[in-house]
Amino acid sequence: MNPTKVRSIIESLEENRVTLVAVTKLHTVEEIQPLYDLGIRNFGENRVQELLEKVAHFPGVAWHLIGHLQRNKVKYIAPFISCIHSIDSEDLLAEINRQAEKNGRLIDGLLQVHVAQEASKFGFPASTFLQQIREIDFQKYPHVRIRGVMGMASMVTDQNQIRAEFQQIKSFFDALKSDFPVHFDTVSMGMSGDFDLAIKEGSTLVRLGSILFEA
């Protein structure tokens, strides 16, 4: 890791008022430590088991679950998780609320929308996203604070396609903002290969892994 390059990335994101979540999946505690030493305090993991193995090593970190989350795994992270980016069904929302209540917590969450062409990605389908979200009575889930939306662009080289998908994610955020007037402020989109474009299209939070560790 090149600390000078990472500091430059951090400073650029701060200038744009974009939150950095350092994606630490597949990296050891020793590899992550330099990022922690640079002051990064938002870490993201895809898998619950890997997250649980790391959480005790980094006090003061806000942990983000950014990968697909099975309902039976929610109980393991509910005591400490800061934000769950991958709420992709009402059943999962209900379970997060149940476990948050058991732990006396309010857990932040993002609504994941599937706009990418890869079928392997998760999320509410883009074609019915607004309809499905507006059919949910969020007052039934007072222990989950919906902060915004999350989405991933297709893994393609066509920048116009990536831009269009980011624009679609941002349009969903804008359409729902009046439905969630309080604390609805997060557009989580953009990873190491496309975060510059994501920021131009309205991202407020980027999830960066390889660019930090390779820098």
Share of the chain above pLDDT 70, in %: 99
Q: Is the pLDDT of residue 116 over 90?
A: no
Q: Determine the average pLDDT of the residues in 196-203.
A: 97
pLDDT confidence of residue 2: 87
Distance separating alpha carbons of residues 192 and 23, to the nearest angstrom: 10
* Domain formed by 3-214, architecture: Alpha-Beta Barrel (3.20)
Q: Determine the average pLDDT of the residues in 161-188.
A: 95
Q: Determine the average pLDDT of the residues in 167-181.
A: 95
Tokens read off for 17:
């008022």
Distance separating alpha carbons of residues 131 and 124, to the nearest angstrom: 10
Q: Is the pLDDT of residue 215 over 60?
A: no
Distance separating alpha carbons of residues 102 and 33, to the nearest angstrom: 32
> Which residue in 158, 154, 153, 151 sits closest to 186, CA to CA?
151
55-79: per-residue pLDDT in tens? 999 999 999 999 999 999 999 999 9
pLDDT confidence of residue 121: 76
When the pLDDT of each residue in the chain is averaged and rounded to a whole number, the result is 95
Tokens read off for 159:
């920048």
Which residues, listed in sequence order, are joined to residue 83 by a DSSP beta bridge?
A: 64, 108
pLDDT confidence of residue 181: 81
pLDDT confidence of residue 11: 96
pLDDT confidence of residue 206: 98
> Which residue in 162, 144, 141 sits closest to 153, CA to CA?
162
In terms of C-beta density within 10 A (0-12 exposed, 13-18 middle, 19 or more buried), how is residue 164 classed?
middle
Q: What is the 3-state secondary structure (H, E, C) of 198-211?
A: HHHCCCCEEEECHH
What is the amino acid identity at position 39? G
Which residues, listed in sequence order, are joined to residue 149 by a DSSP beta bridge?
A: 111, 187
Q: Determine the average pLDDT of the residues in 169-193.
A: 95
Q: Determine the average pLDDT of the residues in 78-104.
A: 98
